[in-house]
């Protein structure tokens, strides 16, 4: 079996145990998230679509408050210690919301707070996961293994909605938060195993910097980004991605609200879309992602999804109905998780440890949610100007083309950095 797996997954000696634990780590992480995601989306609609720009802005402000705290912790503790601290913080948060839901403390405000918290939680824990992967695997391992590791997250994302569907009635929705917290505890165990494996590798023996805290100040993520044209390019990539994702999210909320009046029906539709996305994603990740990167190169791989979104938005512009929305949204999200996200994470492998943890976290949280908040208000303004869903979809077409160009050029630049003698000096 080991020989078969080595051939199918293109593994090198000693990589299989780490790959299995990395797979389990991402599985537990996204399973924990997708258990509570359908509840978050329903609370977004219950709070009123017209209030979503405020909720997105609230998410951005919470992230602004947390990023300095993350910067402080990551500067003062080695990764073996600060990574469990991050996940432990979110476990305590889940337990806190569990108590509020059961005590029925101001349900409307708690619901809005929970929507914001889940949006923050998702970005932080996934960003930290990929920072860790970028740190323990080299650039060649990333090309071969990141697709399979991402498949672990997709498998968890499939199991999460299933657990929600099966257990919500017998256990109660609020008790699912305890299952989510338990899965996060498993991620901490995986971090310990992967840290031990990484520290035994020749690369870690030559460079012992992982033993010490990274140092630097609590706003290092921002200063690293400002000084680096390469990281600024990634920021532009993320802003375009978040803008188009937000436009589609608002169109999804409007179309689904128009087609389903019952809260349970809407929650079920969201869960079924999640299921379709995740099944399609895992098939692409296992059988296609690694091959796509090898055949197309990183530049065209990064540009592939925005190029495919151009006809998707054109279709929505011509026919902004439920079936078109579902097809475009499912294909976009599956393409992002299966192809765009693993390829995007490869952009960081050639950088130094501080860029991987601090600059990357700043981009994945502040820049991402800042783009969400700005595009939410932009979408709201376009609607207030009298534009319909079709007109906004047509506006998204040239934005998709710009996104594809930026993605392609970043992929080419990453390969140039990887080919240099001292890639970590890129600032």
**DSSP assignments along 304-343, one per residue:** HHHHHHHHHHHHHHH--SHHHHHHHHHHHHHHIIIIIHHH
Tokens of 263: 């809260």
Half-sphere exposure of 46 (CA within 13 A, CB side): 21
Q: Is residue 1 part of a domain?
A: no
CB 375 within 8 A of CB 248: no
Q: Is residue 342 part of a domain?
A: yes
- What confidence category does residue 218 fall into, taking pLDDT thresholds of 50, 70 and 90? low
* Residue-level pLDDT at 191: 94
- Exposed e or buried b for every residue in 105-141, given b needs 16+ CB within 10 A? eeeeebbbbbbbbbbbbbbbbbbbbbbbbbbbbebeb
pTM here? 0.72
- Exposed e or buried b for every residue in 157-194, given b needs 16+ CB within 10 A? bbbbbbbbeeebeeeebbebbebbbebbebbbebbebb
Residue 216, CA distances (Å) to 28, 68, 230, 272, 353 in order: 31, 12, 20, 45, 12
Least confident range of 280-289, 306-315, 371-380: 280-289
Whether 423 has a pLDDT exceeding 90, the answer reads no
Domain with 108, as residue range(s), is: 12-425
Whether 391 has a pLDDT exceeding 90, the answer reads yes
Q: Is residue 240 part of a domain?
A: yes
DSSP helix/strand/coil, 352: coil
* Residue-level pLDDT at 21: 95
Q: CB neighbours of 361 closer than 8 A, spacing ≥ 6?
A: 67, 70, 74, 124, 127, 128, 131, 221
Q: Give the C-alpha separation, 54 to 38, whole Å.
A: 20
* Residue-level pLDDT at 424: 42
- Please provide the average confidence, as pLDDT, over all residues in the chain: 83
Least confident range of 171-180, 225-234, 315-324, 383-392: 171-180
Q: Is residue 86 part of a domain?
A: yes
Q: CB neighbours of 245 closer than 8 A, spacing ≥ 6?
A: 332, 372
Q: List the Cα angle 386/392/397 in 5-degree steps.
A: 155
pLDDT, tens digit (0-9, with 9 covering 90-100), for 351-360: 887 888 888 8
DSSP state of 349: T
Give 38 or 23, the one with higher predicted confidence: 23
Tell how far CA 297 is from the center of its chain: 22
Share above pLDDT 70 across residues of the chain, in percent, rounded to a whole number: 88
- Exposed e or buried b for every residue in 263-290, given b needs 16+ CB within 10 A? eeebbebbbebbbbbbbbbbebbbeebb
Q: Is residue 5 part of a domain?
A: no
Least confident range of 239-253, 264-278, 289-303: 264-278
Q: What is the CATH number of the domain that holds 136?
A: 1.20.1250.20
Residue 69, CA distances (Å) to 23, 105, 140, 233, 362 in order: 28, 27, 33, 25, 12
Q: Is residue 337 part of a domain?
A: yes
Burial of 62 (0-12, 13-18, 19+ CB in 10 A): middle
- What confidence category does residue 5 fall into, taking pLDDT thresholds of 50, 70 and 90? low
Whether 34 has a pLDDT exceeding 80, the answer reads yes
Q: Give the C-alpha separation, 92 to 313, whole Å.
A: 41
Burial of 48 (0-12, 13-18, 19+ CB in 10 A): exposed
- Counted domains in the chain: 1
Nearest one of 73, 130, 122 to 94, comparing CA atoms: 122
Q: Is residue 3 part of a domain?
A: no
Q: Give the C-alpha separation, 134 to 183, whole Å.
A: 22
Mean of the pLDDT values across residues 313-336?
91
Whether 42 has a pLDDT exceeding 70, the answer reads no
CB 136 within 8 A of CB 18: yes
* Residue-level pLDDT at 188: 95
Whether 329 has a pLDDT exceeding 80, the answer reads yes
DSSP helix/strand/coil, 427: coil
Q: Is residue 108 part of a domain?
A: yes
Whether 172 has a pLDDT exceeding 70, the answer reads yes
* Residue-level pLDDT at 1: 63
* Residue-level pLDDT at 228: 93
pLDDT, tens digit (0-9, with 9 covering 90-100), for 75-118: 777 777 888 988 999 999 999 988 888 887 666 677 778 888 88
Give 191 or 273, the one with higher predicted confidence: 191
CB 156 within 8 A of CB 30: yes
Q: Give the C-alpha separation, 97 to 114, whole Å.
A: 7
Q: Give the C-alpha separation, 274 to 329, whole Å.
A: 10
């Amino acid at each position: 079996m080991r020989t078969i797996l080595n051939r199918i997954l293109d593994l090198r000696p000693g990589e299989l145990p780490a790959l299995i634990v990395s797979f389990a780590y991402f599985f537990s992480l996204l399973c924990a998230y997708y258990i509570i995601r359908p509840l978050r989306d329903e609370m977004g609609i219950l709070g009123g679509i017209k209030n979503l720009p405020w909720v997105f802005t609230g998410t951005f402000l919470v992230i602004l408050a947390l990023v300095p705290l993350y910067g402080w912790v990551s500067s003062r503790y080695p990764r073996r210690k600060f990574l469990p601290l991050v996940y432990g913080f979110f476990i305590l948060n889940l337990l806190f919301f569990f108590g509020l839901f059961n005590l029925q403390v101001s349900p409307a405000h708690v619901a809005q707070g929970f929507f914001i918290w889940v949006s923050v939680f998702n970005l932080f824990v996934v960003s930290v996961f990929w920072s860790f992967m970028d740190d323990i695997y080299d650039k060649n391992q990333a090309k071969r293994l990141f697709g399979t590791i991402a498949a672990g997250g997709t498998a968890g994302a499939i199991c999460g909605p299933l657990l929600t569907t099966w257990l919500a009635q017998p256990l109660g929705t609020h008790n699912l938060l305890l299952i989510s917290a338990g899965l996060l505890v498993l991620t901490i165990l995986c971090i310990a195993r992967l840290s031990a494996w990484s520290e035994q590798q020749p690369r870690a023996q030559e460079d012992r910097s992982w033993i010490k805290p990274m140092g630097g100040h609590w706003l290092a993520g921002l200063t690293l980004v400002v000084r680096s044209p390469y990281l600024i390019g990634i920021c532009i990539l993320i802003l375009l991605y978040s803008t188009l994702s937000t436009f589609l999210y608002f169109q999804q909320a409007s179309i689904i609200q128009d087609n389903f009046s019952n809260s349970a029906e809407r929650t079920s539709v969201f869960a079924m879309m999640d299921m379709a996305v995740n099944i399609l994603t895992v098939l692409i990740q296992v059988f296609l992602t690694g091959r796509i990167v090898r055949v197309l190169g990183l530049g065209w791989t990064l540009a592939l999804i925005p190029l495919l979104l151009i006809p998707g938005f054109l279709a929505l512009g011509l026919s902004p109905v439920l079936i078109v929305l579902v097809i475009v949204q499912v294909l976009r999200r599956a393409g992002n998780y299966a192809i765009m996200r693993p390829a995007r994470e490869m952009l960081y492998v050639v950088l130094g440890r501080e860029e991987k943890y601090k600059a990357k976290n700043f981009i994945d949280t502040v820049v991402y949610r800042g783009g969400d908040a700005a595009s939410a208000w932009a979408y709201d303004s376009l609607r207030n100007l009298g534009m319909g869903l079709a007109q906004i979809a047509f506006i998204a077409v040239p934005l998709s083309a710009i996104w594809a160009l930026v993605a392609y050029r970043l992929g080419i630049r990453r390969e140039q950095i990887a080919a240099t003698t001292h890639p970590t000096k890129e600032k």
